[in-house]
Amino acid sequence: MLLLLTLTLSLCLLTTTTLGFQEQSVPAVQHENAPSVDQILDHIKVHDEWQERYLIEYRAQRTFHAANLRFEEDATLEVRTTFRRPDTIESQVLRAEGSRLIRERVFDNILKAENETHSKLAKQQVDIVPANYSFSYIGQELCDGRKCYRLGITPRRREQYLIQGQIWIDAEDWSIVRIQGSLAKRPSFWTRQTQIDRRYKRIDGMWLNDSLESTSDILIAGRSTLKIQYLYEAIETDRSMEHLEEASVPCRD
């Protein structure tokens, strides 16, 4: 989540970034046999700990695109990024084109922030856990054909890097598959509203980033957008832990 803040602040330096998200999910429906919120949170915790131990490394090619219509500025960046457990992340720029201002003030800041905020301590301050959020049950939906539980999230502190919104949790793997909402605190006087939509996808049993869309409505500059798309080239997991998967991952409902 610290990265989300950096994305927004970087776009504000441009006096750019907001997208009016159209909610396209299946309407939420309550079910009598749904697990309690506490049970869902317990399952999420166990899954996250399991994936943290199991995932060794991945390599992905990411495409960044940022634009501001009012000033007719846009830029694209292609990056190859490698993650190695526990918290090493390295990025190599493959292609950069478009507005120099966007590339320097947005893309460069994002890459810098990833190295600074990937530590365990930094993640603890922004993770979607009871220490940082209160939760409410909304209902069940289908997420790309898989059953999901939808929860409302409310930050316990009014801080810029926390999100007021919703999360979707896969009902089989207990991973968060989508986060959508607005920043709990405006990052600056100039930013009237910021919306964020982050989505994940399942690859080789791992739930990894799939896309991020961030938009903000900035005084004078108007609306700007930032999109990041992920394409995974390689994923390495700890095969020695495969026999522990049944014990490590929460029981299926």
d(CA 181, CA 197): 7
Q: Report pLDDT digits (tens) over 118-174.
A: 666 667 778 999 999 999 999 999 999 999 999 999 999 988 778 999 999 999 999
Q: What is the pLDDT along the chain (253 residues), one digit of tens a residue?
A: 444 444 544 544 443 332 233 333 444 444 558 899 999 999 999 999 999 999 999 999 999 999 988 888 999 999 999 999 988 899 999 999 999 988 988 899 888 878 766 666 667 778 999 999 999 999 999 999 999 999 999 999 988 778 999 999 999 999 999 999 998 876 665 566 788 999 999 999 999 999 999 987 766 667 889 999 999 999 999 976 554 454 445 544 4
* Alpha-helix residue ranges (DSSP H) falling in the chain: 2-13, 37-54, 100-102, 108-117, 120-124, 245-248
- Are the CB atoms for 207 and 173 separated by under 8 Å? yes
- The interaxial angle of helices 2-13 and 108-117, nearest 10 deg, is 160
For 125, counting Cβ atoms within 10 Å of its Cβ (0-12 exposed, 13-18 middle, 19+ buried), the class is: middle
d(CA 200, CA 244): 24
For tokens 């999100």, name the residue: 163
d(CA 253, CA 236): 28
Residue 114: CB atoms within 10 Å:
18
C-alpha distances out from residue 232 to 57, 60, 158, Å: 11, 4, 35
Residue 111: helix, strand or coil by DSSP?
helix
For tokens 């495969």, name the residue: 242
Q: Which pLDDT does position 21 carry in this prediction?
A: 31
Residue 147: CB atoms within 10 Å:
14
d(CA 84, CA 90): 9
d(CA 250, CA 38): 13
Q: Which pLDDT does position 245 carry in this prediction?
A: 52
- Are the CB atoms for 216 and 11 separated by under 8 Å? yes
d(CA 200, CA 55): 15
Give the DSSP per-residue string, 163-183: EEEEEEEETTT--EEEEEEEE
